[in-house]
Structure 1
Amino acid sequence: MDVARTPTGRKLQLAALLRYLRERRRLTQHEAGHAVWPKASAGSVQNKLARLESADAGIRQEDLYELLAVYDAVEGEYWELASLLNTGLSQRGRWQGYRSIYSESYRRLIDLEEDAQSIRYVANERIPELLHSESYVRAEFPRAVEGPSSDEEFTVQATLARQQNVFFRDEPPAVATVLSESALRRVQGDEAVMRQQIEFLLELSEHPHVTVQVVPFSAGAGRAGISHKGILERFALLRLALPGVTGGLPGHLDYVFTRTGEEICWQDDVRHYEDQWARASEAALSPRGTRDFLRRVGRDFA
Structure 2
Amino acid sequence: MRNPTGRQLRFGTELRKLRERAGLTATEAGQLMGIKQAQISNMEAGRVGVSAERVRALACHYDCSDQALVQALGDMTTERARGWWEEYRDILPAGLLDLAELEHHARRLRTAVTVHIPGLFQTTDYAREIFRQAVPDLAPPDVEHRVSFRIKRQAVLYRDRPTPQQVIIHEAALRMRFGGTQVTRGQLTYLLDMSEREHVAIHVIPFAAGTFAGSGQSVYYAEGPVPQLDTVNLDQSHGPVFLDAEAQLSKYRVTLDRLEAAALTVEESRKFIHTILKDL
- Could you say which TM-score interval applies, normalised by the shorter chain? 0.7 to 0.9
> Which residue of 2 is the match for residue 28 of structure 1?
24
> Which residue of 2 is the match for residue 228 of structure 1?
none
> Which residue of 2 is the match for residue 59 of structure 1?
48
Q: Retained in 1: the 8 A contact 2:119–2:150?
A: yes
Distance 1:83 1:294, change over 3 A: closer
> Which residue of 2 is the match for residue 89 of structure 1?
80
TM-score (norm 1): 0.71
Moved more, 99-108 or 29-38: 29-38
Measured after TM superposition, the shift of residue 262 of structure 1 is 3.7
In structure 2, give the amino acid aligned to 1:108: D
Structure 1 CA distance for aligned equivalents of residues 233 and 97 of structure 2: 11
Choose which of 256, 259, 272 in structure 2 pairs with 1:277. Answer: 256
> Which residue of 2 is the match for residue 3 of structure 1?
none
Structure 1 CA distance for aligned equivalents of residues 174 and 71 of structure 2: 48
Q: Retained in 2: the 8 A contact 1:178–1:215?
A: yes
Query: Are 2:243 and 1:254 equivalent residues in the alignment?
Result: no
In structure 1, give the amino acid aligned to 2:80: L
Question: Pairwise CA RMSD of aligned residues?
Answer: 3.9
> Which residue of 2 is the match for residue 294 of structure 1?
273
Give CA deviations for 1:102-139 in whole Å, capped at 9, x if unaligned.
Answer: 31222222101011110000111111211101221233
In structure 1, give the amino acid aligned to 2:24: T
Distance 1:264 1:205, change over 3 A: same
TM-score (norm 2): 0.76
Measured after TM superposition, the shift of residue 200 of structure 1 is 0.7
> Which residue of 1 is the match for residue 176 of structure 2?
186
Query: Are 2:192 and 1:213 equivalent residues in the alignment?
Result: no
Q: Which residues of structure 2 form unaligned runs of 5+? A: 63-68, 133-138
Measured after TM superposition, the shift of residue 58 of structure 1 is 2.9
Distance 1:184 1:262, change over 3 A: farther
Choose which of 87, 91, 94 in structure 2 pairs with 1:104. Answer: 94
Q: Retained in 2: the 8 A contact 1:130–1:159?
A: yes
Give CA deviations for 1:240-267 in whole Å, capped at 9, x if unaligned.
Answer: 22xxxxxxxx576211011232421111
In structure 2, give the amino acid aligned to 1:271: S
Highest CA radius of gyration, 1 or 2?
1
Structure 2 CA distance for aligned equivalents of residues 69 and 193 of structure 1: 53
Distance 1:272 1:83, change over 3 A: closer
Q: Which residues of structure 1 form unaligned runs of 5+? A: 1-6, 143-147, 226-230, 242-249
After TM superposition, the structure 1 = structure 2 runs for residues 158-173 of structure 1, keeping only pairs within 5 Å, are 158-164=149-155, 166-173=156-163
Distance 1:187 1:262, change over 3 A: farther
Measured after TM superposition, the shift of residue 183 of structure 1 is 1.2
Measured after TM superposition, the shift of residue 27 of structure 1 is 5.3
In structure 2, give the amino acid aligned to 1:176: Q
Structure 2 CA distance for aligned equivalents of residues 66 and 283 of structure 1: 42
Q: Retained in 2: the 8 A contact 1:11–1:86?
A: no
Q: Retained in 2: the 8 A contact 1:9–1:111?
A: yes
> Which residue of 1 is the match for residue 223 of structure 2?
239
Structure 1 CA distance for aligned equivalents of residues 146 and 70 of structure 2: 41
Moved more, 85-94 or 232-241: 85-94
Instruction: Give aligned pairs, total.
Output: 260
> Which residue of 1 is the match for residue 65 of structure 2?
none
Measured after TM superposition, the shift of residue 276 of structure 1 is 1.1
Give CA deviations for 1:56-106 in whole Å, capped at 9, x if unaligned.
Answer: 4233559x8599379469xxxx99997874456365995325x65531222
